[in-house]
């Protein structure tokens, strides 16, 4: 069997569908990948494959949630490379920057978020409702995401962060509500993101549930944001 991105996604889904917790399932898939990969440095290969696999798993989750909800409004979830093909969407999700203190032409910095949620009208995108960053932990590209969360909020665009929380940054705070126990990264995430989506059941998130949400609430929140605006 070819050990690649699709293999990782398949193994992860099979384990979680079988009742294994998402974090544990991901660890098991990583272990199996490292054992079975034979084309070179397995550790480097995992770093390359795992991020793409996690994004693909989230994409499948989005599509399944929309497909199963008969009352879902017309929505389309696009990865950045597809959303950026729409010129106006690319401009909305980018920022002109320049070297501080120097007079020169600004350059266009793209947010390159992982997913863009577009509301549709007559099958055409008419609004960017939310964007999402998908990371297995808060260590990955975290500061860059916080910058874009702040910038895009002023444009009426929600920013969601979807994470396995492999390092357990939110593990204690969802149970006891003591924000002091949360890591610095977790505190910043709760202050600046509109939502942080975790792989927990709804009843397991006992505190800050207006920000920290089960990952299967992705569509619920999108519908709320559309109705609110």
pLDDT in tens, 138-183: 876 667 888 899 899 889 999 999 999 988 888 888 888 888 878 8
pTM over 0.95: no
Average pLDDT over residues 209-224: 95
pLDDT > 70 fraction of the chain, expressed in percent and rounded: 98
Q: Residue 193, exposed/middle/buried by CB under 10 A (0-12, 13-18, 19+)?
A: buried
3-class secondary-structure state, position 100: coil
pLDDT in tens, 38-92: 888 899 999 989 999 999 999 999 999 999 998 888 999 999 999 999 999 999 9
d(CA 112, CA 148): 10
Answer yes or no: is pLDDT of 1 > 70.
Answer: no
pLDDT in tens, 16-39: 999 999 999 999 999 999 999 888
pLDDT in tens, 179-192: 887 888 888 889 88
3-class secondary-structure state, position 9: helix
pLDDT > 90 fraction of the chain, expressed in percent and rounded: 65
Cβ–Cβ < 8 Å for 146, 188: yes
- For residues 102 and 10, which has the higher predicted lDDT (pLDDT)? 10
d(CA 29, CA 60): 18
Locate the domains of the chain by residue range.
1-68, 70-228
């Amino acid at each position: 069997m070819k050990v690649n991105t699709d293999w990782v996604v398949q193994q992860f889904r099979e384990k979680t569908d079988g009742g294994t917790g998402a974090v544990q399932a991901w660890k098991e898939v990583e272990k199996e990948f490292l054992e079975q990969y034979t084309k070179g440095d397995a550790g480097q290969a995992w770093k390359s494959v795992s991020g793409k696999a996690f994004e693909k798993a989230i994409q499948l989750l989005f599509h399944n949630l929309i497909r199963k909800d008969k009352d879902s409004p017309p929505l389309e979830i696009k990865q950045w490379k597809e959303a950026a093909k729409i010129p106006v969407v690319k401009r909305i999700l980018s920022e002109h920057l320049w070297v501080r203190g120097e007079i020169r032409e600004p350059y266009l910095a793209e947010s390159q978020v992982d997913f863009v949620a577009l509301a549709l009208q007559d099958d055409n995108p008419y609004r960017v409702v939310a964007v999402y960053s998908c990371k297995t932990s808060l260590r990955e590209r975290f500061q860059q995401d916080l910058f874009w969360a702040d910038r895009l909020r002023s444009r009426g665009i929600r920013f969601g962060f979807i994470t396995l929380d492999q390092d357990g940054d939110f593990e204690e705070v969802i149970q006891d509500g003591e924000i002091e126990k949360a890591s610095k990264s977790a505190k910043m995430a709760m202050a600046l993101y509109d939502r942080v989506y975790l792989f927990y059941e709804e009843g397991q998130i006992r505190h800050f549930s207006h920000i920290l949400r089960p990952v299967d609430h992705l569509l619920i929140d999108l519908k709320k944001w559309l109705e609110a605006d």
